[in-house]
Chain A
Amino acid sequence: MKGARGWTVTLIVLVGVVVLWEIAERLVAARFPLVPAPSAIGGAIVRFATPIWLNLRLTLIESALGLVSGSLLGLAVAAVFVRWPRLERSLYNLIVTIHSIPLVAVAPILLIWFGVGITAPTIVAGLACFFPMAVNATRGLRAASASSLDLMRALDASQIQTFLRVRGPASLPYVMAALKLGAPAAVLGATVGEWLGTAGVGYLLFSAMVNFQVELLWATMVIATGVALAGYLLFSVAERVLVAWGPSARGET
């Protein structure tokens, strides 16, 4: 309920801003051609629907592939860290270093390696969601309480049973949190990866900029924002369904 009320307030504020913006534009329109009115942005979305959709489709594919591969890699690293804590001590800083590389610097390097295409943006998207998953899943796989592990031992459970029945479920809230962070990050990563490419939302933004198509630029931005937000919401809903027992479903956060 709290979440729903939060979104209602957000929506009201957003609508208010858009309306004020529109009014302001009408009053002083001609003087600020670089800031299009909401109605103009909406018009541009309709007018450029086909190119936006064709480029968005590619970005969505790259984001999804990146989210899946980056998150799986993050999960694998977390599993290794939890199984061999010594490796975590020696490799954690390396992971942080990788995370600290600016994605805009990675993109041209990958472009040189893999050429123009789907590969480079997908890898950038994967990198963007790898770190949140690695960190969160490491914590999650350690989240099972000592007493619940005692219980499983007393029940003579095997390692696999303990993982499937206790460690895995206990890590789920952390994994879902990582996916909520990762989904928008993947869209951002893919867009950055496309920046110097020949297709995708990133390319569309870049070409709109150099061609001075201000309305198209804004329209693309609005759509990209919506997609990233939708990714977040998708995993929020998934979290509520899958982790019905967790703190967020109980209204504790």
Chain B
Amino acid sequence: MTLEVHDHEFVALVGPSGCGKSTLLRLVADLDTATTGAIVVGGRSPVDARHERLFGVVFQDPVLLPWLDVLANVRLPMEVAGGGAAAPADPMALIELVGLGRFAHARTWQLSGGMRQRAAIARALVLRPQILLLDEPFGALDEITRQRMNLELLRIWSERRTAALMVTHSIGEAVFLADRVLVMSPQPGRIVAEEAVPLPRPRAIETFASADFLECVSRVTRRLLGAVEGTPA
């Protein structure tokens, strides 16, 4: 399969559970190693990209370290990188950006699920990555929080202008956020369709009601249903 993410582009990867979309993201992040094929991140192999800290990852579970406060969690990549970090962002400014300004010194386990994920996003951005890898970051949140976080993510992403590759099983989420939506099929996992999302930016809550949005969602839905045809639900 071939998959490309351009600079400043937001690409969403949708597919049913078990199609390997998270695995694909883990390969890009060099958390797993591919047996065949080539992955190029910023002109480098995933290993080199990881060493050079070209990407930031947001997992489904926010993975905040409970013995650190919010600020220390956001600073963690800087601490680990030591002098290796080229020009880290101001962690406090990032915490403000994700809307946690008042909670910089809060204990992470005192935060709500959405707030934890905000902190995780700030942490992923602190080393100014070229690409943000998001593995169903809002999958564990309730629907309302999820919608709010999607709006927040768009705002943060448009301010930071990194590229983004997001894995999700929500079609609406994918269409709302992305410039392009890639549809994956299960068994074997491959990208079977690509849909450009012609919705103008900035997108807002009204986007959900626009005819273009609904049209795009139904196109992706048809592709996705076509991809899983023949496999039992």
Listed in ascending order, the chain A residues whose CB lies under 8 Å from chain B are 145, 147-148, 150-157, 161, 165-166, 169, 172, 243-246, 250
- Given A154-B29, A155-B53, A245-B107, does the pair A165, B65 have CB atoms closer than 8 Å? yes
Interface size on B, residues (CB 8 A): 22
Are the C-beta atoms of B80 and A157 separated by less than 8 Å?
yes
Kindly list chain B residues whose C-beta atoms are within 8 Å of the C-beta of A145. 61, 63
- CB nearest neighbor in B for A145: B63
For the complex, what is the distance from the CA of A145 to the CA of B61, rounded to whole Å? 11
Are the C-beta atoms of B67 and A154 separated by less than 8 Å?
no
For the complex, what is the distance from the CA of A72 to the CA of B109, rounded to whole Å? 31
Are the C-beta atoms of A151 and B51 separated by less than 8 Å?
no
Q: Can you give 28 contacting A-B residue pairs, CB < 8 Å?
A: A148-B63, A150-B59, A150-B63, A151-B63, A153-B30, A154-B29, A154-B30, A154-B31, A154-B55, A154-B57, A155-B53, A155-B76, A156-B51, A156-B53, A156-B80, A156-B81, A156-B84, A157-B80, A161-B80, A165-B79, A169-B65, A169-B67, A172-B67, A243-B67, A244-B67, A245-B107, A245-B109, A250-B109
- Given A156-B80, A161-B80, A245-B67, does the pair A147, B59 have CB atoms closer than 8 Å? yes
- CB nearest neighbor in B for A157: B80
Are the C-beta atoms of A147 and B63 separated by less than 8 Å?
yes
Listed in ascending order, the chain B residues whose CB lies under 8 Å from chain A are 29-31, 50-51, 53, 55, 57, 59, 61, 63, 65-67, 76-77, 79-81, 84, 107, 109
Q: Which of B66, B81, B109 contacts A155, CB < 8 Å? A: B81
For the complex, what is the distance from the CA of A227 to the CA of B66, rounded to whole Å? 33
- CB nearest neighbor in A for B57: A154
List the count of A-B residue pairs having beta carbons below 8 Å apart: 53
Are the C-beta atoms of B109 and A151 separated by less than 8 Å?
no
Task: Quote the shortest CB–CB distance from A100 to chain B (angstroms).
Answer: 36
- Given A155-B81, A156-B51, A165-B76, does the pair A147, B61 have CB atoms closer than 8 Å? yes
For the complex, what is the distance from the CA of A244 to the CA of B109, rounded to whole Å? 11
Q: A145-B61, A154-B31, A155-B53 are in contact. List 18 more A-B contacts (CB 8 A).
A: A145-B63, A147-B59, A148-B63, A148-B65, A153-B50, A154-B29, A154-B50, A154-B55, A154-B57, A155-B81, A156-B53, A157-B80, A165-B65, A165-B80, A166-B65, A169-B65, A245-B109, A246-B66
Kindly list chain B residues whose C-beta atoms are within 8 Å of the C-beta of A157. 80
For the complex, what is the distance from the CA of A80 to the CA of B109, rounded to whole Å? 32
For the complex, what is the distance from the CA of A72 to the CA of B99, rounded to whole Å? 45
- Given A150-B59, A155-B80, does the pair A245, B66 have CB atoms closer than 8 Å? yes
Task: Quote the shortest CB–CB distance from B11 to chain A (angstroms).
Answer: 19
Kindly list chain B residues whose C-beta atoms are within 8 Å of the C-beta of A243. 67
Task: Quote the shortest CB–CB distance from A242 to chain B (angstroms).
Answer: 9
Task: Quote the shortest CB–CB distance from B197 to chain A (angstroms).
Answer: 28
Task: Quote the shortest CB–CB distance from B27 to chain A (angstroms).
Answer: 12
Task: Quote the shortest CB–CB distance from A23 to chain B (angstroms).
Answer: 49
Kindly list chain A residues whose C-beta atoms are within 8 Å of the C-beta of B61. 145, 147
B59, B65, B77, B81 interface centre (most CB from chain A within 10 Å): B65
Task: Quote the shortest CB–CB distance from A144 to chain B (angstroms).
Answer: 10
Task: Quote the shortest CB–CB distance from A240 to chain B (angstroms).
Answer: 14
Task: Quote the shortest CB–CB distance from B72 to chain A (angstroms).
Answer: 10
For the complex, what is the distance from the CA of A161 to the CA of B67, rounded to whole Å? 15
For the complex, what is the distance from the CA of A156 to the CA of B107, rounded to whole Å? 25
Task: Quote the shortest CB–CB distance from A249 to chain B (angstroms).
Answer: 10
For the complex, what is the distance from the CA of A157 to the CA of B80, rounded to whole Å? 6
Kindly list chain B residues whose C-beta atoms are within 8 Å of the C-beta of A246. 66
Are the C-beta atoms of B80 and A153 separated by less than 8 Å?
no
For the complex, what is the distance from the CA of A145 to the CA of B107, rounded to whole Å? 18
Kindly list chain A residues whose C-beta atoms are within 8 Å of the C-beta of B50. 153-154, 156
Task: Quote the shortest CB–CB distance from B227 to chain A (angstroms).
Answer: 28
Task: Quote the shortest CB–CB distance from B89 to chain A (angstroms).
Answer: 15
For the complex, what is the distance from the CA of A155 to the CA of B61, rounded to whole Å? 16
Kindly list chain A residues whose C-beta atoms are within 8 Å of the C-beta of B80. 152, 155-157, 161, 165
Task: Quote the shortest CB–CB distance from B212 to chain A (angstroms).
Answer: 35
Kindly list chain B residues whose C-beta atoms are within 8 Å of the C-beta of A151. 57, 59, 63
For the complex, what is the distance from the CA of A155 to the CA of B85, rounded to whole Å? 11
For the complex, what is the distance from the CA of A153 to the CA of B31, rounded to whole Å? 7
